[in-house]
Structure 1
Amino acid sequence: MSRPLAPGAPEVAADHPPAPATDLSPIAEAVTEQDAAAFVAVGDRFDDDVRYLSRFGGPDRAYAVVVTPDRAVLTAPALFDEQAEREFVRGAPDDGVAREVRTEKQGDPAGVRAAAVLDDLAATETVLTPASIPHDAALYLEDAGYELRSTTVVADARERKTEAELACLRRVQSVTCRGMARAEAVLAAAEPDGDELLFAGEPLTTERLRREVDAELARHGVRSAGNTVIGAGQTAADLHYTGVDHIAPGETVLLDISPRGPHGYYGDLTRTFTVDSDGGWERRAFVAVEQAHETALDHVEAGVTAGTVHEEAAAELTAHGFRIDSAEVGLTHGVGHGVGVSLHEGPSLRADTPLEAGNVVTIEPGVYDPEIGGVRIEDLVVVTENGSERLATYPIRFTPASPE
């Protein structure tokens, strides 16, 4: 049986797009430019850099990716040889970097196996690594005679999304909108009863609303990843509230939904609703945040300094009488951040660097008062040469709408 959804929920394709392939040429070029032997990353499927480099959804046991100017090697963990071959080698793009999977000595630590690959392929003793390389792997590489040099080349490459990555982000964001639509439909159907809202005859809580959202996400093959944040009243001022709170008439209900799709890419969408409002702080805050959201979107385009977007949104909130850069009251966070295989990655919209076409960022101004509540509006956009494009659209409404 289909679930009622609020108007504005996008249609969602039956299947997810194919897994994107990673162009390793920027990493190979960095190795050449810095006169290094190779780039080495070590981690498991929960390490976003390693997952991005390999596209290998292996186990929670560490493995290594070694990239030289013309070759990339994945040291597959035991029992995952075929999957590593399929995802790392057969799915590789034509980027000039040959892929191979090595399966020898699978009982050895990943750092030891990475050093063995370097012994076969390396021409120098300098190795580039991300700053997050596990300590034990770094020690194994150093014990093998390699000098480690930290690099941000993977983080930099991840900031510029390809069309295949954008397809994954659009898909998960469209499902995120469906989750929001389900929550809005529940709120619209809720009936005031004294200081409570009743849904289907029972008191409506943030946990019950979260279950409705997560079930809708699951119907479309997307998992919440524990990132369905819902607060009401005072808990709406908590940026990461995942507890249980009763929802009362007239207070803000803030829903921040950030699920992860099957290829590892995140959606991110926030809306704030109020049921049976009589205006006051909630309405004034909503109007201010909505205007700050529009102002921020107007300033997003390639070449604009990222921090400018934050400053313009903050100025709009100040003009409406709200504090900015406060620890607890007003705007307490940056107006946006990058999203990809990590929920929070570059670029930050507080950075003193220009935005680039292909950056995917959130636009999420908000204001909060721990004694009253919180209001935030957030969309996920891709930066273009002449502005930005929402990866999926969802209406902005103060009062939740009933299904059509």
Structure 2
Amino acid sequence: MTTHMKGTSRRGYLDLPHGQVHYREAGRSGAPALVVLHQSPLSSATYEPVMELLAGHGIQVVALDTPGFGMSDATPGQWSMSEYAASVWQAVDALGLGTVHLLGQHTGALIAAEAALSGRERVSGLIFQGIPLYTDEERAEKAETYAPSYTTDADGGHLKVIWDRIRGLYPTISADSASRQVAEYLSVGPNYGVAYPAVFRYQVDPAALAGIPTLLLHGTEDVLDRMNDVVTAAFPHAPLVTIPGGTDFVAEEQPEVFAAAVAEHVPVHARVHGDGRRRRRTRWHGPLADRSARRAGRGRRGAMSRLPEPFERSCPRPASPRVSAGPSVRPRAGSGSRPVRSPSPRRSTLVQPPAGGRLLPSG
């Protein structure tokens, strides 16, 4: 059984004020940097299958285990969203990175949003892989009921409780993926919902994020796909890219398609906004002390195809339509126009390319 808790990416630990933070990294030092923030209560292992593929697109990708999750040390108490965001910048500094792109999923998307507000000058762009924009009523209800703790049973009955929760949330994922998630839940402990109080107290301010290049990217079966109309109205200039059939774990289910979609966004905006400078590392422990001696398996800068530009114009139909196997793109309104609120928007599709090929737009 392959659960990719270990994988092939380089792994290490950073010494931060609250304790150690575990991370995974792939790609060439000095390439456009992407920092990935996972959903709760899971870990960076979610992104292990896509790490080297992102590196192959010329991206230096770092996936962090949020403090208290995966193999990172627990926080000393109940943290706020601003404290989780502060730990991201501490990790970025410890890694010696300058300007970065942030990709966050669910809880990680909220952390990314808050990190962008507190360190805007260091953010070249954002990718939200499902961002929860709950109403006040939803936040209050979820704060009361969403993630009840479990009791460790001598007969292992709590393992079934965890398994049933995972299967209830994601009924179509593979047994391997569900098995890995059981291990991730166990790594946090009975109070696996430790980050959710911060999530349900936090309100995103989309207007404050205006001007930061933003991509909305997730699978069509993601549990937050239902929020598309709300999210696209909140971020009217962010293109929406959905990957057909992908669940919350589309990065491991369709890693090539996911990596290609990310690669359409990150290097382009890194070239525009990145300053190319690297900061001096603070104290840390890991396998990156001698990068030049370990280049086996490193990514190379490959040819990149761009999302249809400008985003406010619909993608043209090709002369010979192809069967869609890649992500669909919802162009957003242009500057000065009203958000698109149609409940049945026209979506254009990027057809998954053959090896070495380009993404092609279709209707």
Which of the five TM-score ranges fits, normalised by the shorter chain?
Answer: under 0.3
Give the TM-score taking structure 2 as reference length: 0.26
Which protein, 1 or 2, shows the higher relative CO under an 8 Å CA cutoff with sep ≥ 6?
A: 2
- Answer with 1 or 2: which has the greater Rg: 1
Give the TM-score taking structure 1 as reference length: 0.24
